[in-house]
Amino acid sequence: MLAVGLGLAVLATGCGDDDDPGTPDSGSQCADGGTRLPDGGCPPPACPDGGTRLADGGCPPPACPDGGTRLADGGCSQPTTCPDGGTPLPDGGCSQPTTCPDGGTPLPDGGCSPPPPACGDGGTPLPDGGCPPPPECPDGGSSPDGGCGDPPSVAYVRFVNASLGLKDNPSDSDSAPWRPYRLDVRQGARELFDAVSPGEDAVTGYQEVPAGTELLFTTHDADVASGPALATSEPVKLAEGERLTLVAVGFSNRTEVDRVERARLVVLRESFEAAGTGKARVRMVSADRVTVIPAQGRTRRLGLESASATPVSTVNPYSADVAAGVAIPTTTQRLVISSSGDSGFSPALSKRLFFSVPEGALPEGSAWFAILTGDDRRPLPDAGQPALLLVRAGVEQTLRLKRDPLVYFFNGLLPVTENDDPLILQALQGTTKVAVGVEFNYSPAIGELPVTASGHLLRVARNDDANALVVSDTNTGPLVAGGRYLAVVTGRAGQTTGAQTPRLLFIQDRYPVGVMDARVRVMNAISNSPAEGVDFGHFDVAANGTSQGTVFTPVVTQVRFGETSGPDEGGAFLAPSTTGTPPLSFYGLRATGTGSVMAAAGNAMERPHFIVVFGDWDASFLLFLGFNVRENTWSGVAPFDIFQ
């Protein structure tokens, strides 16, 4: 009875009143969310790792994360391989792989992060999975995916400014200051070449232009902003890799369509034929000054070596020879340009232009544009004088050949006796006549000689007999391209010994380009002049404005026979002149160190001159002639009488 009572008492306690806060919840819901069992109890809570609770109420061990098998002691067996490339560890785990085979980043737990996407331009993926910007394509290509596609199709163009015309020179003066037009070149709206000047820097390098499309080029005055086109090329379409040379010719200040000298832009494809063994190819372009074309024409003819050579090429002014060019020997030493016009080229008696070619300048198989430029009238030693531009096809190489040296021969040779007529002379190099018809006390006869570093041997003979020598072989000394030289024959004809033996004196004109005022250099060609030399200068003008004054001013002093006075730039010669027309000056000559001065009236000087004093000192037969080096012919300032 006691046992039964105790049991009832226990049951009464387990199912107490819900309102009693001191007893467990006796409702249908378990506190952990489970459903109360039929016996009124609550099921055990779920295993935290998702496993099924065992019969003994416990939870099974979790699965091995690396694929190993759970051992009886609760550990994991060592896997045979690690799927992410790591090394199996003794405890059943996997080491962290050094690299992930799929490009992902190794993780601390031995796994790999997802692989980054491939970069279309070949760049290395960044840690955040992105790609760096693609590198600049060296050939200019590009693709939508950021890579380098095929480069654009291009051709190549260069420019030669062989134009004429000087600024501030509307009258086309031959001695105006050298202020040429600088030119811009545009292809459509794109500027290809900027402010290119003629002369030493006339040839540019190549620039790329689109291939396979029609192109149009224009020239513009570089000093005029937004100025109109001076010249427009013909349309041209270039194949990929093709090369083109553009040449500006004509006067940049002449755009009238009816003017032969109008500005033009010549298009030259570099399409020469093969030169052949021992040959080079030359295509001539005429770009020198031509303003009038008479009925007989003014074609330019290219010959080789000598004035008598048969021309190999003939072109019209401001145009080019056939595209194939002509073959010439690589050993060519001199190129000759002649003209079909009556006047030819001034000032040489040959009326031709000669250009010495440096040894080895024309390699076998090479091809060249030979562009004749300049103004043959121009006396100033600047880039406006004639030159031949040799521009090599396909190569950025240019040779600018200046005109061969000009030699001005003056005859100051006294006759055999005072009663004899002076001899008329000729100058020869070997059997070649350099100058002919050189008369006593006349303006010089002008010849051309090849460039030489060691000098040429010249001899002087009677004009009517090349074997009647007056002066035997005399070395000229070095002669430079573009140079001008004065050669004076002095002494007395028939003399074979002593001071008056005939001889040839040489001096180069080295007056600076910018010197344009009256100044002199004096050569003493008086073979029997005083040993101490002579002084040369001028007198003042009397108050009446027409007569000689009494004050002598020596300008150069102590000039001995065979010498030329002063520095290359000469001495200023500020001789007063009369008020009449033409204005005259009064020139003076004396033996150095004496007070007795001889005078002679002559034309006034306004430009740099060479003064040659010559004659017979003992017979008081003394003269001078002044050569204006700012005129192409070196016209003479002559006295009206001998010094008295």
**193 and 256 share a domain?**
yes
**Model confidence band, residue 123 (pLDDT cutoffs 50, 70, 90):** low
**283 and 345 share a domain?**
yes
3-state helix, strand, coil in the chain (%, to 5): 0, 35, 60
pLDDT at 96 over 80: no
Could you check whether the bond before residue 294 is cis, i.e. omega within 30 degrees of 0? no
Tokens describing residue 126: 């960044």
User: For residue 418, is it left (φ>0), alpha (ψ between -120 and 50) or beta?
Assistant: alpha
- The candidate with the shortest Cα–Cα distance to 357, out of 389, 385, 383, 380, is 389
CA 360/CA 6 separation, integer angstroms: 137
Domain boundary residue among 508, 531, 554? 508
pLDDT at residue 7, rounded to an integer: 40
**Model confidence band, residue 10 (pLDDT cutoffs 50, 70, 90):** very low
79-87 mean pLDDT? 61
Q: How do residues 150-164 score in pLDDT, each as one tens digit? A: 667 999 999 999 999
Regarding beta strands 367-373 and 279-286, do their DSSP bridges make them parallel or antiparallel, or are they unpaired? Answer: parallel
175-197 mean pLDDT? 97
pLDDT at residue 76, rounded to an integer: 66
pLDDT at residue 341, rounded to an integer: 73
Q: Is residue 324 part of a domain?
A: yes
Q: Are 520 and 556 in contact (CB under 8 A)?
A: yes
> Residues with Cβ < 8 Å from 474, sequence gap 6 or more?
457, 458, 459, 460, 503, 504
**644 and 536 share a domain?**
yes
Question: What domain count does the chain have?
Answer: 4
**412 and 353 share a domain?**
no
Tokens describing residue 287: 């770009």
pLDDT at 551 over 50: yes
455-462 mean pLDDT? 98
Q: Is residue 108 part of a domain?
A: no
**472 and 558 share a domain?**
no
CA 324/CA 616 separation, integer angstroms: 62
**Model confidence band, residue 297 (pLDDT cutoffs 50, 70, 90):** confident
Q: Is residue 76 part of a domain?
A: no
Q: How do residues 357-416 score in pLDDT, each as one tens digit? A: 999 999 999 999 999 999 999 999 999 999 999 999 999 999 999 999 999 999 999 999
Q: pLDDT: is 516 or 50 the higher one?
A: 516
**537 and 481 share a domain?**
no
Lowest mean pLDDT among 132-141, 551-560, 611-620: 132-141
**525 and 579 share a domain?**
yes
Q: pLDDT: is 341 or 194 the higher one?
A: 194
Q: How do residues 606-636 score in pLDDT, each as one tens digit? A: 999 999 999 999 999 999 999 999 999 998 8
Q: How do residues 216-234 score in pLDDT, each as one tens digit? A: 999 999 999 989 999 999 9
Regarding beta strands 217-221 and 190-196, do their DSSP bridges make them parallel or antiparallel, or are they unpaired? Answer: unpaired
* pLDDT above 70: percentage of residues in the chain: 77
CA 475/CA 229 separation, integer angstroms: 52
pLDDT at residue 16, rounded to an integer: 41
- The candidate with the shortest Cα–Cα distance to 262, out of 182, 186, 178, 318, is 318
Regarding beta strands 621-628 and 636-637, do their DSSP bridges make them parallel or antiparallel, or are they unpaired? Answer: antiparallel
**323 and 202 share a domain?**
no
Q: How do residues 203-217 score in pLDDT, each as one tens digit? A: 999 999 999 999 999
pLDDT at 518 over 50: yes
233-262 mean pLDDT? 97
**295 and 376 share a domain?**
yes
pLDDT at residue 6, rounded to an integer: 35
Regarding beta strands 217-221 and 183-187, do their DSSP bridges make them parallel or antiparallel, or are they unpaired? Answer: antiparallel
Q: How do residues 268-288 score in pLDDT, each as one tens digit? A: 999 999 999 999 999 999 999
Q: Are 467 and 461 in contact (CB under 8 A)?
A: yes
pLDDT at residue 65, rounded to an integer: 61
Residue 107 amino acid letter: L
> Residues with Cβ < 8 Å from 259, sequence gap 6 or more?
251
CA 222/CA 139 separation, integer angstroms: 31
**168 and 207 share a domain?**
yes
Q: Is residue 244 part of a domain?
A: yes
- What residues does 265 pair with on adjacent strands? 248
**430 and 446 share a domain?**
yes
pLDDT at residue 107, rounded to an integer: 65
Domain boundary residue among 203, 236, 269? 269
> Residues with Cβ < 8 Å from 217, sequence gap 6 or more?
157, 185, 186, 187, 192, 232, 233, 236, 246, 265, 267
Domain boundary residue among 486, 508, 530? 508
Q: Is residue 229 part of a domain?
A: yes
**263 and 166 share a domain?**
yes
CA count, 13 A, side-chain hemisphere, 69? 3
* Enclosing domain of residue 265: 154-269
Q: Are 352 and 388 in contact (CB under 8 A)?
A: no
CA 372/CA 389 separation, integer angstroms: 6
Could you check whether the bond before residue 347 is cis, i.e. omega within 30 degrees of 0? yes
251-259 mean pLDDT? 94
Tokens describing residue 436: 């002919």
Q: Is residue 29 part of a domain?
A: no
> Residues with Cβ < 8 Å from 521, sequence gap 6 or more?
507, 556, 564, 565, 566, 570, 571, 609, 610, 611
CA 430/CA 447 separation, integer angstroms: 14
Q: pLDDT: is 486 or 109 the higher one?
A: 486
pLDDT at residue 455, rounded to an integer: 98
pLDDT at residue 19, rounded to an integer: 40
pLDDT at residue 636, rounded to an integer: 83
φ and ψ at residue 6, rounded to 5 degrees:
-65, -40
Burial 97-121 (b: 16+ CB within 10 A, else e): beebeeebebeeebbbeeebeebeb
Beta carbons within 10 angstroms of residue 472's beta carbon: 13
For the chain, how many helices (H) and strands (E)? 1, 36
Q: Are 164 and 196 in contact (CB under 8 A)?
A: no
**Model confidence band, residue 20 (pLDDT cutoffs 50, 70, 90):** very low
Q: Is residue 604 part of a domain?
A: yes
586-592 mean pLDDT? 98
> Residues with Cβ < 8 Å from 21, sequence gap 6 or more?
none
> Residues with Cβ < 8 Å from 248, sequence gap 6 or more?
159, 160, 161, 162, 163, 183, 185, 219, 231, 263, 264, 265, 266
Q: Are 288 and 374 in contact (CB under 8 A)?
A: yes
pLDDT at 118 over 70: no
Q: Is residue 6 part of a domain?
A: no
pLDDT at 129 over 50: yes
Where are the alpha helices (H) located in 163-243, listed in sequence order? none
Q: How do residues 561-583 score in pLDDT, each as one tens digit? A: 999 998 999 999 999 999 989 99
3-state secondary structure of 452: strand
3-state secondary structure of 145: coil
- The candidate with the shortest Cα–Cα distance to 586, out of 615, 627, 550, is 550
**Model confidence band, residue 99 (pLDDT cutoffs 50, 70, 90):** low
Tokens describing residue 69: 């098998």
3-state secondary structure of 369: strand
Q: Are 578 and 586 in contact (CB under 8 A)?
A: no
CA 248/CA 183 separation, integer angstroms: 9
pLDDT at residue 135, rounded to an integer: 60
State CA 109 to chain mean position distance: 68
Q: How do residues 537-548 score in pLDDT, each as one tens digit? A: 999 999 999 999
Lowest mean pLDDT among 143-147, 192-196, 418-422, 557-561: 143-147
CATH number, domain with residue 309: 2.60.40
Regarding beta strands 519-524 and 608-616, do their DSSP bridges make them parallel or antiparallel, or are they unpaired? Answer: parallel
pLDDT at residue 175, rounded to an integer: 92
Handedness of CA 566, 567, 570, 572 (dihedral sign): negative
